[in-house]
Amino acid sequence: MNLKKLTGQAKKHADKLIEQRGGQEALKRDAQQVTEVFKGKGKLTDKAKQAADAIKKPG
């Protein structure tokens, strides 16, 4: 398989997913939420659950 073609397809699918979730700004907000969750106090398992919930909600 052509590596250039494969990377092109991956980028195309990633761009489509980002747009479905609300675009670049929404992606940045999601990343900020996850960062804040992991900087807080508490058990790592609880933080992981909170981060997963934040990611599940697009935008």
Domain that holds residue 47: 3-56
pLDDT at position 1 over 90: no
How much is the pTM?
A: 0.67
**Nearest C-alpha neighbor of 34 from the set 53, 58, 15, 14:** 53
Predicted pLDDT of residue 55: 85
Q: How many CA atoms lie within 13 A of 42 on its CB side?
A: 13
The domain total for the chain is 1
Predicted pLDDT of residue 21: 86
Predicted pLDDT of residue 42: 92
List pLDDT tens digits, range 4-59: 999 999 999 999 988 988 899 988 998 999 999 999 899 999 999 989 988 887 65
